[in-house]
Structure 1
Amino acid sequence: MSQDNLTRLSRRSLLAGGTAFFASAALAGPQQTLRPVARGGASSESAAVPANARPVARQGAVDLIAAAGLAGQVGFVISDVATGEVLEVVDGSLARPPASVTKALTAVYAMEILGGDYQFQTQVLGTGPIVDGVLDGDLVLAGGGDPNLVTDELAQLVTQLADAGLKQVNGRFLVWGNALPGEKEIEPGQLDQLGYNPSLGGLNLNFNRVFFEWAQSGADYTVSMDARSETLRPVVKMARMQIVDRKLPVYAYAEGAGTDDWTVAKGALGKSGSRWLPVRFPALYAGDVFRTLAQDAGITLPVAALVNDLPAGTQLARFESVPLTQMARDMLLYSTNLTAEVIGMMATAKQAGVPQDMRSSAATMAQWLTERTGMVLQLSDHSGLSDQNRVSGLDMVKLLNAAQVQAELRPLLKTIAMVDENRRAIKDFPARVRAKTGTLNFVSTLAGYLDTDTGRSLSFAIFAYDPAAREESLSSQDEQPRGASGFNSKAKKLQQDLLQRWAMLGRITG
């Protein structure tokens, strides 16, 4: 579900249908190739397939799809990177939800527009002088959009203030998060408690999530809400939890006056546990945590208040993020939705000269990709969390084959291990796969590059989508709808089967 499977507390943990084909005789023995001789007759893929798409071997491809037992729509495209030749295709022209493969598109866009050296900046400003440890004016925590800012880094800003001798503020403590237009959640309509569907804006912290922890104590529970990171666990006051006696829903959210008010069903808790919950007021969340950290450092601040326009002031402290190249690599590895949305929106702000809301920005990014590559796609976000995004396999490999895209994207993609029937890594497998995965309930995708040890490079896109089951799952009120796990497992098994087949055939023809 584009879920950030995050369990540790380090930065890495916080980052945390119908079938159409060209048929030919089955391949056998050493003559196996991705370029068999065609039988007569027309293909059912239709004129949408490029003229240079050659007939394909029936062995494995269509039969593997049939054997996978996946309901809905399943398709793929495999092409030669050097020539752009489409070597094998099943329903390649049908546009489907790419899920988190969308993040690969966003990485290309952001790297091109912002540059790999781009860094986000978070500042603390003072609107007056500091005299004898007292700021005679307002203190402003000003976000620059950094999607990966965590509590430990916020504490570095506090340390800079303490080192400058600040002890007290006579004015207000203001937080500014309007470097980017805010969104209360990336994809409306999903369950309240999904931590991978947080708010976003110009001031973000801990991927805009709060850590909820509980433990049974007699007939009652002790609960806590904190902003933990690798070394710190400051208590959060603007997010509150109440345990109630009910069966469903397990979690319910209500928006307070700058507060996130949660309730949870008592019967669902068990003896103890924890999870990340989204926050819907990210700038106030960051301000709440900053104030606690400041108090621990001996700096007294009033309660944080939002400000729409950034006040003029003197920079008292600054934190710069890692360069975009590293941020994009982590985003593709851990599939962090907030990172994708922010870097996409920041790139649009630079390209268009003015920040755009998330959906407008996604449409602008889609138009840019179309103009640069000729691919046709529909985007509602930059992360793939929306199932309204659409791209075809043929268009996806068209993007992957572009020379500039290869140079920027290939080094950022994670290695996909080839495994045997027991899910053990295959030792000395004669090819390397670098790709982006994508997962929603009843959507499973994979796209990237397959490089054989003979030096041949292939690009591919594999899309599986069951629209009927997907639609039903959205109204189930279940974080793991029935059948979703099975669909995902079958889809990933099919991806392995296809990639291993292509790797062996690609070596022979390479």
Structure 2
Amino acid sequence: MHFGRWLHLLCFVFLLGGCASVSRTSTPAILDQLLADPALQGATVSLTVRDVRTGNTLYQHNPRTRLVPASNLKLLTTAAAMDVLGPQYRFSTQLLSNGTQQGERLSGNLYLRGLGDPTLQFADYQALAAQLASQGVRQVQGDLVFDDTWFDAERLGVDWAQDDESTYYGAQISALTVSPNADFDAGTLIVTAKAPVGLGQPVSVQVFPSTDYVQISNRAVSGSGDTYSITRQHGTNLLQLTGALAPGQQRREWVSVWEPTQLVANLFEQALAQQGIKVLGRRVIGGTSPANATVLAEHRSAPLQALITPLLKLSNNTMSEALLKAMGRQTANAGTAQAGVAAVAAFMKRQGLDPATLSQVDGSGLSRRNLVSSQNLSDLLLATARQPWFDAWYNALPIAGNADRMTGGSLRYRLRGTTAENNLHGKTGSMAGVSSLSGYLTDAEGRRLVFSMISNNYLNDAAPIRALEDRVAVALASWHR
């Protein structure tokens, strides 16, 4: 009888052992397996996962290895901007004069002064001209001066790739610029090509806003193969259309211009002419508005806490660069990227973070000289969660799987039908050989986590890497020990 009880107990122990042997794999072990994926062979990955409430590290892999972050750098730029400039900060664009008005004549010069607003559209410049006309002005006897001196004359960031120059995401930065749309792709024009039904016939071309500031070399025709493309020749505003577009098809492309201040000049002169206002003097680019000039009309942007939504959801580079230079102007009276980077570094120090552990050279992440680790970004995400403006910033981040474009943003097509859908608020980043995903999510135990994953130097296309990022996010949302 004693032997039977002993045998029963032994079987029970074996049963428990069997149950333990089929227990679920822990999340850290799953993450180890994911980072061993062949798609990452020869690549470098930095991954950090932390608990928001305690700050404790739950998982790390090369946490302090500095890598190119691509657009994950916008997390740092926008967080600093909310602190340095403030959630209620608004960009301003002013129409001024140092002369006097006598009837319909305005003696002296007319100044259009840009203070960095990347959200102005042609309709806003038309509204400024209409404000001037409403004051009875029909003739300007002096010069028309376009003042873009609030920012420096460095139009491109450090080490931006030359083959990005004609793209909307590589557009030039100016304190006086114009966007063709409500996405605020400043410094660009929308070029629409439409192929006629007849094969071999030239495509028709339309530019918006309508301007003669660009010239078009149209060698694109109606045909098969879908080889249509458009580029801007370096150092010019010559747009070159080539290839074939299927009969009856239409293609819209966003193309940056060379010297956006001059595009503004072209469009604003149109706006003045529409109001019947004639300028007798010269067009002057880059002049400075006198300190004693009177403001005749003004346009103010939406507050920063609203502007960060299109910036972060759509990963807008020109808006990011404008914020960086605006921070430089605010803190050091210098509208330069260098002064902006110094302002960001000062923000980090105020949060107890060490700016010496990373390298930042622009605001958008377009340069490959930016170097950041997942530890840096997790530190930032934890610090940001303590700020009074956090909710506005958090809600501006793309939300995984949410189909609404201005809610899901760059994550709207990802992680649908998973535990991360409408859970993960994060920022994507992508360049050739670079992919990143960082943000916040809530796990199965109800904990809010921050995580950052940066991958560099993979040779395959980005799709397998993004799939890995998504599997990491799902593993985190389903966290178990």
Classify the TM-score, shorter chain: 0.7 to 0.9
* Alignment partner, residue 428 of structure 2: 437
Q: Answer yes or no: is 1:128 the counterpart of 2:99.
A: yes
Where do residues 38-437 of structure 1 align in structure 2 (5 Å cutoff)? 57-58=28-29, 60-67=30-37, 69-71=39-41, 72-186=43-157, 187-206=160-179, 207-216=186-195, 219-227=201-209, 235-243=210-218, 251-255=231-235, 260-267=236-243, 273-301=251-279, 304-311=283-290, 312-352=292-332, 354-359=333-338, 361-362=340-341, 364-366=343-345, 368-370=347-349, 372-375=351-354, 376-402=357-383, 403-405=385-387, 407-408=389-390, 409-417=393-401, 425-426=416-417, 432-437=423-428
Q: Answer yes or no: is 1:465 the counterpart of 2:456.
A: yes
Distance 1:498 1:361, change over 3 A: same
Alpha carbons 2:415, 2:470 under 8 Å: kept: no
**1:122 CA drift (Å):** 0.5
**1:146 CA drift (Å):** 0.7
Distance 1:363 1:243, change over 3 A: farther
**Residue identity opposite 1:62 in structure 2:** D
**Residue identity opposite 2:312 in structure 1:** L
**1:347 CA drift (Å):** 1.2
**1:198 CA drift (Å):** 0.9
**1:159 CA drift (Å):** 1.9
**1:118 CA drift (Å):** 0.7
- How many Å separate the matches in 1 of 2:119 and 2:418? 35
- How many Å separate the matches in 2 of 1:31 and 1:263? 58
Structure 1 unaligned regions, length at least 5: 1-26, 35-56, 228-234, 470-482
**Residue identity opposite 2:358 in structure 1:** L
**1:126 CA drift (Å):** 2.1
Alpha carbons 1:431, 1:453 under 8 Å: kept: no
SS of equivalent residue, structure 1 residue 196: helix
SS of equivalent residue, structure 1 residue 199: coil
- How many Å separate the matches in 2 of 1:369 and 1:74? 24
**1:405 CA drift (Å):** 4.8
Distance 1:171 1:430, change over 3 A: closer
Task: Choose from 490, 501, 504 the match for 2:464.
Answer: 490
SS of equivalent residue, structure 1 residue 94: coil
Q: What are the superposed Cα offsets for residues 178-206 of structure 1, whole Å, 9 maximum, x if unpaired?
A: 11113332325234321211111211211
**1:244 CA drift (Å):** 5.6
SS of equivalent residue, structure 1 residue 66: coil
SS of equivalent residue, structure 1 residue 373: coil
- How many Å separate the matches in 2 of 1:431 and 1:361? 33
SS of equivalent residue, structure 2 residue 48: strand
Q: Answer yes or no: is 1:501 the counterpart of 2:475.
A: yes
Distance 1:427 1:384, change over 3 A: closer
Distance 1:426 1:338, change over 3 A: same
Distance 1:321 1:30, change over 3 A: farther
Alpha carbons 2:129, 2:275 under 8 Å: kept: yes
**1:262 CA drift (Å):** 1.2
Aligned identity (percent) is 23
- How many Å separate the matches in 1 of 2:75 and 2:299? 27
**Residue identity opposite 2:260 in structure 1:** P
**Residue identity opposite 2:212 in structure 1:** K
Alpha carbons 1:203, 1:286 under 8 Å: kept: yes
Larger Cα-atom Rg = 2
Alpha carbons 1:97, 1:465 under 8 Å: kept: yes
Q: What are the superposed Cα offsets for residues 387-430 of structure 1, whole Å, 9 maximum, x if unpaired?
A: 211111112111211253585343432212289xx967227768
**Residue identity opposite 1:223 in structure 2:** V
**Residue identity opposite 1:450 in structure 2:** L
**Residue identity opposite 1:388 in structure 2:** R
- How many Å separate the matches in 2 of 1:380 and 1:28? 51
Count of residue correspondences: 428
- How many Å separate the matches in 2 of 1:455 and 1:296? 59
**1:225 CA drift (Å):** 3.2
Alpha carbons 1:134, 1:169 under 8 Å: kept: yes
Distance 1:270 1:281, change over 3 A: farther
Alpha carbons 1:100, 1:439 under 8 Å: kept: yes
- How many Å separate the matches in 1 of 2:420 and 2:318? 34
- How many Å separate the matches in 2 of 1:29 and 1:412? 42
Distance 1:164 1:356, change over 3 A: closer
TM-score by length of 1: 0.76
SS of equivalent residue, structure 1 residue 437: strand
Alpha carbons 1:192, 1:251 under 8 Å: kept: no
SS of equivalent residue, structure 2 residue 162: coil
Alpha carbons 1:124, 1:141 under 8 Å: kept: yes
Alpha carbons 2:82, 2:389 under 8 Å: kept: no
* Alignment partner, residue 8 of structure 1: none
**Residue identity opposite 2:113 in structure 1:** A
**Residue identity opposite 1:279 in structure 2:** V
Q: What are the superposed Cα offsets for residues 225-275 of structure 1, whole Å, 9 maximum, x if unpaired?
A: 332xxxxxxx21222222369x999634243xxxx4314153366665331
Alpha carbons 2:325, 2:339 under 8 Å: kept: no
**1:68 CA drift (Å):** 6.2
Distance 1:405 1:387, change over 3 A: farther
- How many Å separate the matches in 2 of 1:465 and 1:333? 23
**1:78 CA drift (Å):** 0.6
User: Alpha carbon RMSD of aligned pairs, Å?
Assistant: 3.1
**1:432 CA drift (Å):** 1.5
